Amino acid sequence: MKDSRKIAVVAFVCMISLSCKEKNIVNSCDLSYENPIYYRKDGSEVIVKPKLSPNERGVFVSDPDGLALDPQTGEININKSATGQAYQIKYISLDNKYLCQTDLIISGIDYPDGIYNIKKQEEYIVKCFYNANIRNAAPTGTNTIYDVSGRALQNNLIIDPVTGDLKLKESIDKGLFSSLVDGAERTITFNYRINDQSNTSLNELTLNLLYYKSSARIPKEVRERLEKKQLYPGGRVVGIEGHRPPDIIVVEE
């Protein structure tokens, strides 16, 4: 089998099961990138290369989706990767003798999946978190602007331009959902710039918003999906299958 075909086969197997625990893998290896966190940069392409030892021919895969990773070289295009996520990157040699992994964060914001009752003052505003950790507040400053393109506002999703808070009650009052019926759903993408080491480079984020009159009316399958997406080990959102886009479920009872 040619190397290119072999790489494709191994990559497919690893994407189906990211454990890549082949029976004949007997050696560990060292995989790393220069920094644990990377930032988008406007006006320049940011490509980062892995450090790998031993440097055997193999394939690179990542979880979750969103990382612009070259499966043959392990190079990552930061500007083409989804921001605000932590990724687990794995490498497996073509001869199945070496397996190693590392974590890497593409800086940005995110929001916690959850059920939010807009009749409760402590819940009708949803705070964003930063760098894939629900315990990290996003930096703020005069250069921090959320909803740069106005796409969220055009869809009646109100976002605080400094803190990034989602103002759910105000959004509902503005007509976020055209009809307040159980199961109403909106998927909205907006752009933002943040006052951090990205030098306010352009980022984007997609949110999935759902409405139910009361939490009791949320279907079982939606609740089960939400429970899986709320598993944040140590506060970190890493390797969570299907977390993006985050589910923001709005209820009134």
Condensed to tens digits (0 to 9), the pLDDT of residues 69-105 reads 999 999 999 999 999 999 999 999 988 888 999 999 9
Residue 193 pairs with which residues in a beta bridge?
Answer: 145, 202
Amino acid symbol at 83: T
From 57, 88, 106, give the residue that closes a domain. Answer: 106
Is residue 33 located within the same domain as residue 81? yes
CATH code for the domain in which residue 11 is found: 2.60.40.1080
- Asked whether residue 34 carries a pLDDT value surpassing 50, the answer given is yes
- pLDDT tens-digit series, residues 191-244: 999 999 999 999 999 999 999 999 999 999 999 888 887 766 544 555 445 678
Is residue 89 located within the same domain as residue 122? no
Rounded Cα–Cα distance for residues 185 and 189 (Å):
14
What's the structural domain count of the chain?
A: 2
Amino acid symbol at 76: I
Residue with the bigger pLDDT between 17 and 14: it is 14
Is residue 38 located within the same domain as residue 162? no
Is residue 24 located within the same domain as residue 114? no
Confidence of residue 67 (pLDDT cuts 50, 70, 90): very high
From 106, 126, 158, give the residue that closes a domain. Answer: 106
Check if the beta carbon of residue 64 is closer than 8 Å to that of residue 239.
Answer: yes
pTM of the full structure:
0.84
16-25, 90-99, 146-155 — which is least confidently predicted?
16-25
Is residue 192 located within the same domain as residue 148? yes
* Tokens standing for residue 206: 């997609």
Burial class (CB in 10 A: 0-12, 13-18, 19+), 74: buried
Is residue 74 located within the same domain as residue 190? no
Is residue 86 located within the same domain as residue 12? yes
Is residue 44 located within the same domain as residue 134? no
Q: Could you list the residue range(s) of the whole structural domain that residue 56 is in?
A: 3-106
